[in-house]
Amino acid sequence: MKHLVVINNPRVAQAFVDYMAVLNIECQLAPAEQGVVVILMDEQHLEKAEYELQQFLANPSDAKYSAASWKVADSRKATFSYGGKGMVKSAFLAHAGPVTLAVLAISAVIFALMQMGFERSLILNLTIPPDLSMLLSADFWRVISPIFLHFSIIHIAFNGLWWWQLGGEIERQLGSSKLLLITIVAAVIPNVAQLLATGPFFGGLSGVVYALLGYCWFTGWLRPQTGLQLNPAIVGFMLVWLVIGFMDVVGPSTANLAHLFGLFVGCAQALLDRFVTTDKSKAV
């Protein structure tokens, strides 16, 4: 998928989507902050789509666009809701890829099971083993599984929101494999650091969230062409929250080292990607 343009008038945007359908190029609409975003579903048509978009923006009232709307009106695969619950759902799904949604779903299911009386069993089986040698056995996956444990509705809501926002943005711009790689590394290293500092009983996505924050922050600075950009106010808020955690103002159960090492992991991955990309471009 590729985001082509944000148009402030949904009905005008629909005319372009209908015209592209006549050309057998599938586009869809999703809500954006200042209108709707036109999404190209198959990037192999990117060059053609960008050309047609420029033609459309130069003269959106051309009769061929209204004619296209009439032609495809009865055969649209989906309709775009201009408001209400459908708009919220559309915006949520448009911002999240399969990895983003899978992690949210797993976390939600585990949290629900914990509320149903399975908390003790899940904590015993999903927390990282106190003996690191166990990670070389069949329980190696438990170095990652603590990211799915959340201990209150505020905990999962806060982490889930930031995961959806940052993880969804990375997945949209750089693909599912990149988000999955960052997530795995940002689970393993911060979890081991937190284990060595406080023991095995901790959990949550917050260490990964800080890795995503660091990755978006540094990538927006080092490779702005990727489209990853963070408002400095968001970075400032999260860094202040990190410092507050070490002050024990919000409670001693905060996994502060997981947050800190997560931030380091994200920044380091962004630096690595910057140099790897540079090296590849020089080789070409």
Q: Are 25 and 49 in contact (CB under 8 A)?
A: yes
- The tokens describing 114, both together, are 């914990």
104 and 163 in contact (C-beta within 8 Å)? Answer: yes
State how far Cα 124 lies from the chain centre. Answer: 29
User: Residue 208's closest CA among 137, 138, 158, 244?
Assistant: 158
Q: Which of 90, 206, 253, 281 is catalytic?
A: 206
For residues 48, 50, 54 and 56, what is the CA-based torsion angle, rounded to 10 degrees? 70
- Going by their DSSP bridges, the two strands 2-7 and 27-32 should be labelled as unpaired
Catalytic residue among 45, 95, 150, 259: 259
To the query of whether residue 259 is one of the catalytic residues in this protein, the response is: yes
3 labelled catalytic: no
C-alpha distances (whole Å) from 267 to each of 96, 119, 132, 251, 255 are 22, 34, 26, 26, 19
Exposed, middle or buried by CB within 10 Å (0-12, 13-18, 19+), for 107?
buried
Which residues are catalytically annotated? 206, 259
